[in-house]
Amino acid sequence: MSLPDLPPTLPWLCLAALGAGLVDSMVGGGSLIQLPALLLLLPKVPVPTLLGTGKVASLAGTAVSAARYLRGLRGVPIRWRAVAVTAVVAGCFALLGARAVSGLSKELVKPLVLALLVLMAAYTFWRKDFGSLHAPRLHGRAELLAGTALGVSLGFYDGFFGPGSGSLLLFAFVGLFGYDFVAASASAKIVNVATNVAGLSYFVATRQVLPEIALPMAACNALGSGLGTQLALRYGTGFVRVLFLGVVSVFIGKLGWEVWRAA
């Protein structure tokens, strides 16, 4: 595809990818930065192609973040059975969600996600100790069933719509599984790798990726993710909690405006 405006827009897209990787590595929400930049700076490119291009950058950043969390969290072992089940199921349903995009209305999903985000923010703000202690509360079959349910719901949502999925995963790993915010961030990144791979496979198969834009953005997203992960590991759960509340509040404002405008 010929893009005459590519040279002046690419640096700005790379800067957006850097910021997206930085924020997403800690609390999710990188799509708040990266997707609007793609839509604004490449207005002539079809939206599915922008989504596919963005997925390349997101996957690179998420993979780097997941790897760094695993190296930095040696004192807090990942619950691999639960996370692996969640990741596999989420990846499968993310692919189904990506395929369902053309047949379902995203406008029906926005009010539900908005309500979930408001509840998440209120609960996290009210419970000052929420996410401060790593004390897994599910074991055996209950843990695997919870991981499967989480993978089905958030995997499909990530493939179908996406915004807020990282933050929703983070909240679920804290509230449902009993992880602290840093361990939950690491677990959410592992699941996000699976959903990004699944979603990207669909966009690649349908030739909806611009590699000349996607690859530089991927490098910048990965750099931002590495920096964000180091900040999360250095400053701990209190820092991540505050940032989580900030990002969720922005999501609430954005989705609230879209729902109000549509109504």
Maximum Cα interatomic distance, the chain, rounded to a whole number of Å: 56
d(C-alpha 177, C-alpha 116), whole Å: 18
Share of the chain above pLDDT 90, in %: 24
* Region 175-193 average pLDDT: 87
pLDDT digits (tens, 9 = 90+) for 58-68: 999 999 988 88
Helical H segments across the chain, by residue range: 6-27, 31-41, 47-72, 80-100, 110-126, 140-160, 165-175, 181-205, 211-262
d(C-alpha 231, C-alpha 215), whole Å: 25
Residue 76's pLDDT band (cuts 50, 70, 90): low
pLDDT at residue 254 tops 90: no
Mean pLDDT of the chain: 82
* Region 169-182 average pLDDT: 86
pLDDT digits (tens, 9 = 90+) for 25-57: 877 778 778 877 888 788 888 877 888 899 899
User: What is the structure's pLDDT at 59?
Assistant: 92
pLDDT digits (tens, 9 = 90+) for 237-253: 777 778 878 877 887 88
Q: How many CB atoms lie within 10 A of CB 79?
A: 20
Higher model confidence: residue 180 or residue 146? 146
In single-letter form, the type of residue at position 176 comes to L
Find out whether 144 and 82 touch, Cβ atoms under 8 Å: yes
d(C-alpha 60, C-alpha 156), whole Å: 21
Nearest to 199 by CA among 244, 159, 240: 159
pLDDT digits (tens, 9 = 90+) for 200-227: 888 898 888 999 999 999 999 999 999 9
* Region 259-263 average pLDDT: 80
Residue 159's pLDDT band (cuts 50, 70, 90): confident
Name the 3-class secondary structure at 161.
coil
Residue by residue, DSSP assigns 27-63 as HS-THHHHHHHHHHH-TTS-HHHHHHHHHHHHHHHHH
pLDDT at residue 5 tops 60: no
